[in-house]
Amino acid sequence: MIEGCRKISFRGHKDFRGNLVFVEGGSDIPFNISRVYYIYDVPYGASRAGHAHKELDSILIPLSGAFDVILDNGDVRERIEMRSPNEGLFIPRMIWRELENFTSGAVCLALASDPYDEEDYFREYQDFLNASGK
């Protein structure tokens, strides 16, 4: 996987009543969680994100359903399939990401290291490349 990005497996408990997964700040997450948001009801064929962050680190978790994350560091582009609700994808700052192929009913939970700040975004791919020195 692109350097700096990785999947994180969460601990959980499974029994005849179903599955429970727990995510603890300080141990499971490599940053302090400042914000949680979630994306759902994504129409068929729609894509989300299409941006990079200057300082923010994040983790995406497919709570329900599945989607793909395109990761791009300016040199390499790769597709990561998110299918397991007990796995998150850690995406550090300065990685371009796009989300697509959402299945019907999919829910993407995002954990973020910082509050929302539009100033922290690269929304234009070329701006991201320039800032990356690529």
Catalytic residues, by residue number, are: 51
Minimum distance, C-beta of residue 48 to ligand TYD, in the bound complex (Å): 3
Binding site for ligand TYD (CB under 6 A): 35, 37, 48-49, 51, 116
Q: Write down the least CB distance from residue 89 to ligand TYD, Å.
A: 14
CB of 64 to ligand TYD, least distance (A): 17
Nearest residue (CB) to ligand TYD, 28 versus 120: 120
Nearer to ligand TYD, 6 or 51 (CB): 51
Which tokens sit at 11?
């601990």
Q: CB-hemisphere CA count at 13 Å for 46? A: 11
Residue with the closest Cβ to ligand TYD? 48
Cα separation values, 33 from 11, 20, 28, 30, 103, Å = 18, 20, 11, 9, 27
Strand arrangement of the beta sheet that strand 96-100 belongs to: 77-82, 67-72, 96-100, 48-53, 121-122
To ligand TYD, the closest distance from the beta carbon of 14 in angstroms equals 31
